[in-house]
Each structure stands twice: as C-alpha cells, then as structure tokens.
Amino acid sequence: MAASTEERIDRSGGRAREPIIFNGRRAELVIAYDVTEQVATQQARDASERRYRDIFENAIDIIFTADLDLRITGANAAAEALTGFKREDMVGRSVFKLVPREERGRLSATLRHLIDDGRVVFFELSVVTSTGERRDLEVSASLVRDGHTPIGIQGIARDLTDRRQLQAQLRQSQKMEAIGQLAGGIAHDFSNHLTVILGCARRSVRGCRRTIRCTKTSARSRRPRAAPPASRGSCSPSGAGSRTRRPCSI
C-alpha cells in the first residue's frame, strides 16, 4: 500500500463479537481509504497560514482585524510598538477607545459605509498611544467575508507622523529660503538706489562747496580797501579855494 495512504482499523469494543473466518482462518476486517488529497490540502492550508502569520507579525505597518461591532480581534507587533498597548489589552476593545473623541464620529461613518458598501476605503485618522501621544495614520480597510457573508474588518495602517513633521520642516526651510532670496533681492535693489542717491548727494555737496567758495571770493572782492597814505600833490588841496580832482586807486 502506498505511503501516502492512511490505514484505519475498526475494532469494536465493549462486547464480544463473532470472529470472522476467512478460508478457514481467523481474520480481522480492515477498512482503508485514500486521504492523499485531504493531507495535501491540509498541508497547503498550514503553509499558507504560516506565511500569513509571518507577514502579519513582521510587517512594519500596522495590521489589525475587528468584528462587525468594531471590536478589535487581532493586532500585530507593529500595532503594539506604536500604541504602547499589549495585544491582549487591545483584543476585545472598541476601536474608538484608541481614537480621539473628536474623530470618532467620522471613523464610525467611514466603517459603517465600508460594511454597507463592501468596497475598500482609504482614510486618515489619529490614534492616542498609552503615553497620551497622538500619532497620525493612513488606513486602508476592507471586509473579511465567509463566502459572501461579511464577518469582520481587516485593515493596514501606516504611521504618517514623522513624515508630516519632515514635510513641515521642509516647507519651513523653503519659506525661509524664499524670504532670504526676497530680502537679498530687495537689499540689492536698495543698494543700487542708494548708490545713485549717494552719488547725487556727493555731487550736490561738491557743488555747494564751489558755490560757497565763489561767494566768499566775490565778497572779498567787493569789500572796500583802505586808502594809501596821501602823497604830495596827490588828492590834496592845491591852493586856497581851488580843488583839482584826479583819479586815485581805492
């Protein structure tokens, strides 16, 4: 008999039964049937479950399951690491216990829409960790079905908090860079205008200085000079009752 078959011997117990005689010899009734396909199916199912469990436990994203009453039925190690709650503390707990009060209404409407519509939904929400810290998540959720009957919800969530902080820092850096460029441009334009203003001011100052010098020179030239000592025969009376006018230098 092939090694992939399973033999089962049916022995009745509790009361005696008449022995089976075959060809004059005592015999036992043996019933055997081939379970090769069943064993192969079970092995494939076990391998699939091990792969799923390995992915479930080692994923860097949060993986969770919940029933139709929105109570958590499963969570992976990433969920424990992010929330700070042990898995046994999360299982059986309402998903709303991990969500800030102001976001519970929106989350309830989204999950109810998923249950009614059946299509995958994508949304963002915040969760509150065991230390009170808020973390922003990006979530995709879908229905778990038994045949055509929904029996629960499964979801994958990714932490966006660090990414958003980096994006905020990048935006702030870009703003500061833009402000710096704007300030540099304004300073350059101001410097150009200031250069022109200073040049005009210097020329005006030089012009004023020349004007002042010319004014002083003109004033000195118009100032009357003292008369030189009178010489004989010059600008003096020539005789009694007689005067002679002569040009003299002033």
| 0.85 surpassed by pTM | no
Could you tell me which residue, 174 or 237, shows the higher pLDDT?
A: 174
Whether residue 133 has pLDDT greater than 80: yes
Give tens-digit pLDDT for 155-190.
999 999 887 777 777 777 777 777 877 777 777 676
Q: What does the pLDDT read at residue 1? A: 41
Q: What is the mean pLDDT of residues 134-162?
A: 91
**pLDDT band at 9; cut points 50, 70, 90:** very low
The domain limits of the chain are 59-159, 162-195
**pLDDT band at 33; cut points 50, 70, 90:** confident
Q: What burial letters (b/e) apply to 24-48, b meaning 16+ CB within 10 Å? A: eeeeeeeeeeeeeeeeeeeeeeeee
Q: What is the CATH number of domain 59-159?
A: 3.30.450.20
Whether residue 249 has pLDDT greater than 80: no
Q: What share of the chain in percent tops pLDDT 90?
A: 34
